[in-house]
Amino acid sequence: MDLNNNPYNILGVATNASTEEIKTAYRNAARRFHPDVNPNNPGAIAQFQEITAAYEILIDSGQREKLNQTLAKKNEDDKYQFTLQITPSRKIIETLPESQVIYMLAEARPDSRARHLKEEKETRLNLTLVLDHSNSMSGTRLDKVKIAAHQIIDQLDENDIISVVIFNDRAETIIPATPVNDKASLKAKISIMQASGATAIYSGLSNGVEQNRQYAGPKLVNHIILLTDGNTYGDEEASLELAREVAAEGISISAMGLGQEWNDQFLDELASITGGTCTYINSANAVVRFLNDSVRNLVNAFADRLRISIATDPDIELESAFKLSPHPQPLSIENGYIPLGNLQHDRKVSVLFQLQLPPNIPEGTYSIARLQMSGDILANHNHNFQAISDIQLGVQKDPPPEEPPMPILDALGKLTLYRMQESAKEALATGNIQEATRRLENLASRLLAMGEEDLATQALEEARRVAHTLNLSEKGSKILKFQTRLLLDSSNEDHNS
């Protein structure tokens, strides 16, 4: 039996629960998770299967006894864990004849005993660099990319695997996947890169995937870094399809866009499908730092392939999910599972969910949702470790006043700014110039009130540009998008350590 799936936790009962309690817990869970009520949520269906398996073990006294013995032994290995903590915006809501919104902050942290492991253990990395060497990369940009790639090779050792693919309108594998032994010759291969041709991302990406797959496995951090400075034409869909495929295999992709002429919406989606990140690099000089930082984060991973699934009551609607830390970005909720990338030793992963509750909930206490975070713990090769949390909500006619938790308010205050620039772009896309201008001006005044003067100036400049030219500048649009996200980052440092 897989020890991570502790049947007691899955069913939400105490280890000394009576058979009657176990049966009640199962009936309650079935009401919520049964595939009949969740036809379009694979995450919930998978959760239900686990619940059923857990139930079958716990009602069989022989199996339950055996389980108790194994669990006692397992406690020794407990330091290689992460915990999941959920904070709702309100614990008790008022019963109202209208829909209401509730937010939930989910935070995963490595067990405090795992923090010292940072020094003693080495995470093995299976890294693929997919580098754009189209004509527009010539000069400083390509030079900086070479420097960064050299430094990355210096960061790695013979336990790590590297491969390098370069692409313009076609792709070439200049370093096939290999352990990092002969650093000098690896670097030499990178040095001979030259700029020419146009940008076609799919061919580069698919070559990179092919290389990464040669060593990809659950014991490693399997990661592809795609660096480009150009728009790709006509192969976006194929690239996204490939990203979905590799995400299921446990490979993640980070995208780095250099300069102004790349499609941020496409690369954002490409990365977030796999739990990776999308970064905007404003100047060639910053390339070295961004690439090195991202590799350092991979090397420091405590757990990888982190993902969260949320199963709600059928009449509760999940409206959005946003990763607050590390690297704030919107998350796709299409699928029941939301990939979140890796968990660092000293940094939490936090996600903010927005849910809509139905009108006229009768008074009482309800279990409204279950969140389940899973991931591969790298230190002891503990695959698919899981942490589960059930969310309780009270509903009353006249609830006592409640102060919303500060971390949620703080995040929402900043998230609203990110959403404001998104909604300005939406208004612009539908041709509503007046609305787009108004939203950008609003954004500017909110940013100014927060003391973000440079960003406020940028927003105001873009508001003026929209009013006159009916469009945003490529640069301004990217700055507003990525910088408003970064506002969330500073507010989310973990001070618990």
Partner 1 sequence: MKICPHCGTENREGVYFCEACARALEENIEDRTRTVKLQGNSTEMSGKATWGTARFGSEAAIIIHIRDAAEPLVLHPAVRTVLGRADTTSKQQPDLDLTPFGALEKGVSRIHAAIERSEDTLTIVDMGSVNGTHLNGQRLIPEQPRVLRDGDEIRFGKLVTHIYFK
CB of 451 to partner 1, least distance (A): 3
Closest to partner 1 by CB, 357 vs 378, is 357
Strands 382-396 and 364-377: antiparallel
CB of 222 to partner 1, least distance (A): 38
Of 462, 456, 460, 457, the residue nearest 474 (C-alpha): 462
Closest to partner 1 by CB, 234 vs 451, is 451
Closest to partner 1 by CB, 59 vs 409, is 409
The two three-digit tokens of residue 322, written as one number: 């946003």
CA distances from 414 to 75, 87, 452, 468, 489 (A): 40, 18, 12, 28, 10
Contacting partner 1 within 450-469 (CB under 8 A): 450-453
Q: How far apart are CA 228 and CA 19, in angstroms?
A: 59
Contacting partner 1 within 58-97 (CB under 8 A): 89-90, 93-94, 96
Closest to partner 1 by CB, 160 vs 452, is 452
CA distances from 426 to 364, 448, 456 (A): 40, 23, 20
Strands (E), 219-336: 221-228, 251-258, 278-281, 301-312, 317-325, 329-331
> Is residue 442 a contact point for partner 1 (CB under 8 A)?
yes
Closest to partner 1 by CB, 266 vs 322, is 322
Site track for partner 1 across 389-428, x = CB under 8 A: ---------------x-x--xx-xx--xx-xx--------
The two three-digit tokens of residue 440, written as one number: 């950008």
- Segment near partner 1 (CB under 8 A), from 50-58, 340-348, 377-385, 443-451? 443-451
CB of 421 to partner 1, least distance (A): 10
CB of 437 to partner 1, least distance (A): 14
Q: How far apart are CA 167 and CA 269, in angstroms?
A: 20
Q: How far apart are CA 368 and CA 78, in angstroms?
A: 29
Closest to partner 1 by CB, 90 vs 348, is 90
CB of 381 to partner 1, least distance (A): 42
Q: Residue 128 is which amino acid?
A: T
- Segment near partner 1 (CB under 8 A), from 54-62, 143-151, 184-192, 446-454? 446-454
Q: Which residue has the tokens 């873009």?
A: 462
> Is residue 100 a contact point for partner 1 (CB under 8 A)?
yes
Site track for partner 1 across 171-210, x = CB under 8 A: ----------------------------------------
Of 471, 449, 447, the residue nearest 457 (C-alpha): 447
Helix orientation angle between 264-273 and 474-490, rounded to the nearest 10 degrees: 40
Q: How far apart are CA 106 and CA 374, in angstroms?
A: 13
Q: Out of 99, 112, 194, 283, name the contact with partner 1 by CB under 8 A.
A: 99
Of 208, 246, 55, 231, the residue nearest 131 (C-alpha): 208
Closest to partner 1 by CB, 100 vs 382, is 100
Q: Out of 14, 59, 101, 248, name the contact with partner 1 by CB under 8 A.
A: 101
> Is residue 449 a contact point for partner 1 (CB under 8 A)?
yes
Contacts of residue 294, Cβ cutoff 8 Å, sequence gap at least 6? 225, 254, 256, 277, 279
Q: How far apart are CA 38 and CA 495, in angstroms?
A: 38
Helix orientation angle between 453-469 and 433-449, rounded to the nearest 10 degrees: 170
Query: What are 329's strand-pairing partners?
Result: 323
> Is residue 300 a contact point for partner 1 (CB under 8 A)?
no
Closest to partner 1 by CB, 272 vs 484, is 484
Q: Residue 325 is which amino acid?
A: S
> Is residue 443 a contact point for partner 1 (CB under 8 A)?
yes
CB of 74 to partner 1, least distance (A): 40
Closest to partner 1 by CB, 39 vs 97, is 97
CB of 375 to partner 1, least distance (A): 30
CB of 474 to partner 1, least distance (A): 24
Contacting partner 1 within 327-356 (CB under 8 A): 356
Chain residues that interact with partner 1, rule: CB under 8 A: 89-90, 93-94, 96, 98-103, 356-357, 404, 406, 409-410, 412-413, 416-417, 419-420, 442-443, 446, 449-453, 491
